[in-house]
Amino acid sequence: MENRCADIIPVKIALTIALILMLLLVLTGCCDKTTITSTSILPVLKEYSLETQQQIKKEVQMLPTGSAVASAIMDYIDLRNRIKASKN
């Protein structure tokens, strides 16, 4: 009489692996790639009135040449422009 346990264990392992693979296939369908777009993850930009924009421009022009604050503001303006361009 042969040992039947030796035959059953590989079958159980194969079934377990098959079950895991099927589960993984089902779970990959849960991630809908179309719901994530570049515009859905871009930040909402604060809107500044024309009056505020003119005041900012005036104050930046009064900063000394090479000012770190002016440099940071220019980086901020560039970032805002790139975000606006990405949304279009």
Q: What is the pLDDT of residue 52?
A: 93
Looking at the fold, whether 48 and 84 belong to one and the same domain comes out as yes
More confident call, 15 vs 27: 15
85 and 54 co-located in one domain: yes
Q: Are residues 6 and 26 in the same domain?
A: yes
Report pLDDT digits (tens) over 23-81: 777 766 665 555 556 556 888 889 999 999 999 989 988 989 898 999 999 899 999 99
Total tally of structural domains belonging to the chain: 2
pLDDT of 50: 95
* Same domain for 47 and 27: no
Residue 86, pLDDT > 90, answer: no
- The domain of 27 spans 1-31
The CA distances from residue 71 to 14, 18, 46, 67, in Å, are 63, 59, 20, 6
